[in-house]
Structure 1
Amino acid sequence: MYSFENVKILVVDDEELLREILVETFSMHGAAVDSAKGGNEALAKLQEKDYDVLISDVRMPDGDGLTLVSKLKSLNKTDIKVFICSAYNDMTEKKMQDLNILKVFNKPFDLEDLIKEVFDFFNTNSKSTH
């Protein structure tokens, strides 16, 4: 069983069903989860609140995910852990490193893989900070 107690997650995706599934799943595991249907809405939430994890789609009508991720530095949100879920993965390793993206999940992806990846990251890399 995975536990995300005290982990704050922002899920950004224009696909309502996927967004709801991610919110519900991470919430069931103890995370505090907010969601946004696009980059612009997510940006507003990021300006109001601190998050530990950002899980974002790339191509969305209301502000794309990569633009959102590129703005994290200017918002002084460089500690946020970024995971991308997209049907369109044309990112190079360099671009991922430049944007501080930990992992890209190609849609359709296995929900269990995403949960495990986020969990493993927090349990191997962030024990001292959480």
Structure 2
Amino acid sequence: MKNFKILIVDDEKELREGIKTFFEIEDFTCLTAKNGEDALSLLENEDVHLVLSDIRMPKCTGIDLLKRIKEKDKFLPEVILMTGFAEVTKEEALGLGASELLLKPLDMRDLIGRISNTYAPKLGVAP
């Protein structure tokens, strides 16, 4: 999946780097950002196939990031990661354009399977 590029956005460095490592082992190309503002800066210069973003972050939350991404590219899939306690409901996030909401802790095998089987084929990226 080297042709499939994911932007991972999370303010927790260990989690962000852990997710990145797991995806890279599975041959995905990954970029990382520590918050929504950094993610938006990266997206100015980089094309990605999917944004995987935490919902709770300083400066620019996952929902703020989602809104700003959808203003520029309504077709870019964004998967929101959240704990069981969030200030937004699943319906609200999906209504704003989120592709999917997943609860932490993540099942990485399930996540990779979803991306490989759902998002990559829709975007014309071969596994």
Q: Place the TM-score, normalised by the shorter chain, in its bin.
A: 0.7 to 0.9
Corresponding residue pairs, total: 123
CA contact (8 A) 2:70 2:97 kept: no
Determine the C-alpha separation between the residues in 2 that align with 1:80 and 1:123. Answer: 12
Counterpart of 1:15?
12
The reply to whether residue 91 of structure 1 matches residue 89 of structure 2 is yes
SS of residue matched to 2:70: coil
RMSD: 1.7
The Cα of 1:13 is off from its aligned counterpart by 0.3
CA distance in 2, matches of 1:100, 1:125: 16
Unpaired runs of 5+ in structure 2? none
TM-score by length of 1: 0.84
Q: Percent identity?
A: 29
Q: Match of 1:115, as an amino acid?
A: I
Alignment match, 2:76: 80
- Per the TM alignment, residue 49 of structure 1 is displaced from its structure 2 partner at its CA by 1.2
1:38 corresponds in structure 2 to: 35
Q: Deviations over 1:7-45 (max 9, x none)?
A: 011000011111011111111222210000100100100
Unaligned runs of 5+ in 1: none
Change (3 A) 1:8 1:71: same
